[in-house]
Chain A
Amino acid sequence: MENEEEAEALSSNPTREALDLDPALQKKRQTMLERLSNRHQTRTDSSLTRRSAESDSASSPSFESTSTFLSRFSNSKSSIESQLAQCRLSDPTQLKPQLDQISSSISDLEKLVAENSYFLPSYEVRSSLKAVSDLRQSLENLSAELLPKKKFSFRNKGPKKDPIAEPKEKEKEKEPEKSGFRVPASPGIWNKKGETLVHNFKGSEVGEFTISDLDSCEVRLMGSVRALFVHRLRNCKVYTGPVTGSVLIEGVEGCVLVMASHQIRIHNAKRCDFYLRVRSRPIIEDSCEVRFAPYCLSYKGIEEELRETTLDEETENWANVDDFLWLRAVQSPNWSVLPENERVGLIDISNSEEVRPLPVLLVSMCAWSKR
């Protein structure tokens, strides 16, 4: 079929001289050449993609083109930048619509990243999002400067319209019965209020452990486990030794969590402080007002346990948080680094033998209560 095209092109090109003389034919030839070169381009592109996919590498070739995206992205970006620059020179009465226009261009750019993020290398996603966020920041600065009197507000700004703060859908109770099989309960701590709960894994054969549905409790877990699940906690403090696999946190509010793990995933957290030691990048999803600081736990034997689980080294990853909800948006407003003067300091839970109930009052003395 390709050969047919080429043959057609050749046959419509009987003699060079004739073509050069006839403008109509020349135009036709030009179109034909363009078509052919496009086809050639597509073929080369796809064979390139194939070749790079064949080469055994960790890189992410894809069927779409990263470079096409990048050039489109940078075009729109420069156009927005020059629009921003022009604002300073424009008629003040025209300013508001102009800024609105720029704001919607930025949203479009953001959408472009979103639509392409599935094939882009994550570095490109990250840096594009950073660029979008910077543009938005410039726009905000500019409007604050040029529109000092009128309160100019953006759609996705302001505490009222926080999409995350509003509870999505009511957590629905799960029905344990499914196709005649009853899922057993995991080992863990469930349904407690106002207690101090101590558990030492040392010497035991616990694989996975769950702490779930706790209100105003203090949980101290010593020794290491492979996987830890944390579910529905309110106003709790949770201190844990090393987790060799991952910690999965879902639905925590007003808590302080001090944990060390290879991976930490945080879903639906609100007003919580996390003190983490983690080998990979911690992530948050559907969370807000969460703050991060380095791990700060101490008990007898913890150093050795951390060493054995290769969690002895401070990787500084506690501050490299990825917010998956803001993958397609500006720099996440949902998390921040906990200021040093608000951090709790070293927590020593060595003397945890005696189990004493924790006064509920104590728990509300959290750093965020200032907010």
Chain B
Amino acid sequence: MGLLSIIRKIKRKEKEIRILMVGLDNSGKTTIVLRINGEDTSVVSPTLGFNIKTLTYQKYTLNIWDVGGQKTIRSYWRNYFEQTDGLVWVVDSSDLRRLDDCKMELDNLLKEERLSGSSLLILANKQDIKGSLTPEEIGKVLNLEAMDRTRHWNIVGCSAYTGEGLLEGFDWLVQDIASRIYVLD
């Protein structure tokens, strides 16, 4: 293998961004991924295991790992932590009762050493549902201000149904990761 091809390969890899999507079951992770990939969202079953989607976003290749959030499979999340550049935490903003669970699981996740370098995007999903909490309110419930100051994070309201907010969120995430990792690009 010549030097040139090695360099080319490294360059190519550099444009890859690995994103891990997690959150409680029913928060809308799979629907969001399908929506940003322009796929049909009318029949989505709860995720038993995980899905991976590879898509091109601006000049980057995003590898999006969508892992099931049902209680019994949350223990598998840790299998996906390695090499995660961006973490997307999806919240069902209409599920008021489980916000405590949601906060607890997020807090646990952020304690994870292997995720300490990754940018965090919180998607306050289901904004289309009347009665949903706003992203600001979700931010307060999750007590985001108290987060470790070295963490790059952002919270954006969105709806996987209307598509609203998704681009804004992923734009921020990709820019943040790119500027952190590929400064010389």
Q: A245 at interface (Cβ–Cβ under 8 A)?
A: yes
Q: A141 at interface (Cβ–Cβ under 8 A)?
A: no
Interface size class of B (residues with CB under 8 A): 35 or more
CB distance A122 to B48 under 8 Å? yes
**Chain A residues closer than 8 Å to B99, beta-carbon distance:** 178, 183
CB closest residue in chain B, given A283: B46
CB distance A181 to B140 under 8 Å? yes
Q: A299 at interface (Cβ–Cβ under 8 A)?
A: no
Chain B CB within 10 Å, residue with most, of A55, A281, A310? A281
CB distance B70 to A248 under 8 Å? no
Count of CB-CB pairs between chains A and B under 8 Å: 136
What separation, in Å, do the CA atoms of A117 and B50 have in the docked complex? 9
**Chain B residues closer than 8 Å to A180, beta-carbon distance:** 140
Interface of A is mostly: loop
What separation, in Å, do the CA atoms of A119 and B141 have in the docked complex? 33
Q: B52 at interface (Cβ–Cβ under 8 A)?
A: yes
CB distance A184 to B96 under 8 Å? yes
Q: A267 at interface (Cβ–Cβ under 8 A)?
A: yes
Q: B130 at interface (Cβ–Cβ under 8 A)?
A: yes
CB distance A60 to B50 under 8 Å? yes
Q: Which of the 9-residue segments A96-104, A130-138, A205-213, A357-365 touches chain B? A: A205-213
For this complex, 23 residue pairs linking A to B, each with C-beta atoms less than 8 Å apart, are: A53-B52, A56-B54, A56-B55, A60-B52, A118-B49, A118-B80, A119-B50, A175-B100, A178-B141, A181-B137, A186-B94, A186-B97, A207-B94, A212-B97, A245-B129, A248-B26, A262-B43, A263-B46, A267-B71, A280-B46, A286-B71, A322-B46, A322-B48
Lowest 9 A-B CB distances belong to which pairs?
A207-B130, A207-B129, A280-B45, A181-B140, A179-B143, A208-B94, A281-B45, A118-B76, A118-B79
Contact surface of B with A, Cβ cutoff 8 Å? 25-26, 42-46, 48-56, 61, 63, 70-73, 76, 79-80, 94-97, 99-100, 103, 126, 128-133, 137, 140-141, 143, 146
